[in-house]
Amino acid sequence: MKIVCIGSGNVATHMANAFKENEADIVQVWSKDFNNALALAAETGAQAVADLKEIDQDADLYLIAVKDDAIVKVVRALQEVNGLVVHTSGATDMEVLAGIKNYGVFYPLQTFSKAEPIDFIHVPLCLEANSPENLSALRLIAVKLSPLIYEVSTQKRKILHLAGVFACNFVNHMYRLSQQIVEKNEIDFEILRPLIMETAVKVQHALPENVQTGPAIRNDRQTLLKHEELLHKSPHLKEIYAILSNSIKKTR
Amino acid sequence: MKIVCIGSGNVATHMANAFKENEADIVQVWSKDFNNALALAAETGAQAVADLKEIDQDADLYLIAVKDDAIVKVVRALQEVNGLVVHTSGATDMEVLAGIKNYGVFYPLQTFSKAEPIDFIHVPLCLEANSPENLSALRLIAVKLSPLIYEVSTQKRKILHLAGVFACNFVNHMYRLSQQIVEKNEIDFEILRPLIMETAVKVQHALPENVQTGPAIRNDRQTLLKHEELLHKSPHLKEIYAILSNSIKKTR
């Protein structure tokens, strides 16, 4: 399988490497920053291209992993290809690719950092395509990377993208606020790591609604007051503490 | 080692079982609800006691794991004992035990659910005692359960308890809100579990401030707007989305 990788960010890098490990052939990498294209091309044994016009028209798969607002631009260069063109965005309509013969979406519902290796067996892949045949083709490609394959419409994919902000981005921000609280008091963040891990492990089989703990769900007013007192010099944290505690109380 | 367990909730149950597995002898269990005392006593091979006056005065360790506002009450029954008396609360002064000869705090910084088994090697134990000798004694007891031993003052323990609300209780609430979002759209929560896990795994070596992802940290206004539109029928979620996105933006 010949793949052209369009983009060189976190998602492009992780995907290109995962495909390469699965014996696909990354033939080209394009990026708006040619140096980044060169780097990922070197990593995957591909050719770096500076101009979208140079893109190989005979690849099997075109993987678009650029910023959402740049997708439209690169699509113009792919109007005549026969291969399958997919974007990898959670928030973008599949139909942004309309006009191309064979197209779809290959959305990995996972958080990627360039420096962190990730095993694709833990990456749910959300697939959508413009025909049942292309969906089947995409599925055959996807199962080489991950056992977690989901057929997801554009509408549901957008919902998942939003839910991911709560389940990942806001969660990491909570970690960060806890880091801020302990470090301000000269305590190493390290001591919180087992608690963070266990909290995630718990919902791997249970549902979050069934394992909520803490003073808000018990309506333990004394502890809630003590915590707000501890935060009296941090109005921003105090506000978030109050809002989220009230949000938890509503679920009682 | 002879241990009297005062309390029969999550923490009492997990600790009593952990001590029992480490060949300590749980001699008695007291609880304000005698049926719960009977259950935990049966589980650990102890005697259940209904009246605090019946508590064995010759045990080595008295483990107080009752609700914060009940600690004062049980302390009265332990004024004459020679053994080490510890409470397990994150939010309570050690000095609530003053008057007893040997006392301290044995605070597990972890989330416990009755139905979930937990391996104590992942439970940081925060120790405090009324003398260096008692601290050493407590440390010798603690290392049998966990390698994660910390000496923590009352003041810092209260900070950790507060930080734990952010790192665990608020995090689980974020999981819950993500569950609410997907279920409202007939998507199974299961698809979010790998993302949740990876988010926690990432901060096991990195610091949260270095691995924040998502539209708010990128100040990706288009995506932020799209998400707020998706939430237009859920004003409560929309409010939380806006507040936390702004809080993330402040850290840019």
Mean pLDDT of each 10-residue bin along chain B, 252 residues long: 96 96 96 97 97 97 96 95 98 97 98 86 98 98 97 98 98 98 97 98 96 94 95 97 98 90
- Mean pLDDT over residues A227-242, rounded? 97
Looking at residue A55, its pLDDT comes to 97
Average pLDDT in the A147-171 region? 98
Q: Which of A107, A129, A128, A110 is nearest to A118 (CA)?
A: A110
Could you give the percent of chain A with pLDDT greater than 70? 100
Task: Flag whether the ipTM exceeds 0.90.
Answer: yes
What are φ and ψ of residue A66, in 5° steps? Answer: -115, 175
Residue A116: per-residue pLDDT: 81
pLDDT at B45: 97
* Helix A171-184 and helix B154-164, axial crossing angle in degrees, nearest 10: 170
Q: Contact A185/B156, CB-based, under 8 Å?
A: yes
The CATH number corresponding to A158-250 among 1.20.1050.10, 3.30.465.10, 3.40.1190.20, 1.10.1040.20 equals 1.10.1040.20
* Distance to chain B for A208, nearest Cα, Å: 5
Domain A2-152 has CATH 3.40.50.170: no
Q: What sign results for the dihedral spanned by CA atoms B64, B70, B71, B77?
A: negative
Of the residues A172, A192, A249, the best mutation for testing chain B's interface (the one with the most B CB atoms within 10 Å of its CB) is A172
**For residue A115, what pLDDT is reported?**
78
How does the average pLDDT of chain A come out, rounded? 96
Cβ separation B163–A181 shorter than 8 A: yes
Would you put residue A45 in left (φ > 0), alpha (ψ -120 to 50) or beta?
left
Q: What is the reported pLDDT for A113?
A: 80
Residue A114 pLDDT more than 80? no
What residue ranges do the domains of chain A occupy? 2-152, 158-250
Is A243 in the B-facing interface, judged by CB distances under 8 Å?
Answer: yes
What pLDDT, on the 0 to 100 scale, is given for residue B61? 98
Amino acid at A206: A
Task: Please check whether the domain covering B158-249 is classified as CATH 1.10.1040.20.
Answer: yes
pLDDT of residue B113: 80
DSSP structure string for A5-65: EE--SHHHHHHHHHHHHTT-EEEEEE-SSHHHHHHHHHHHT-EEESSGGGS-TT-SEEEE-
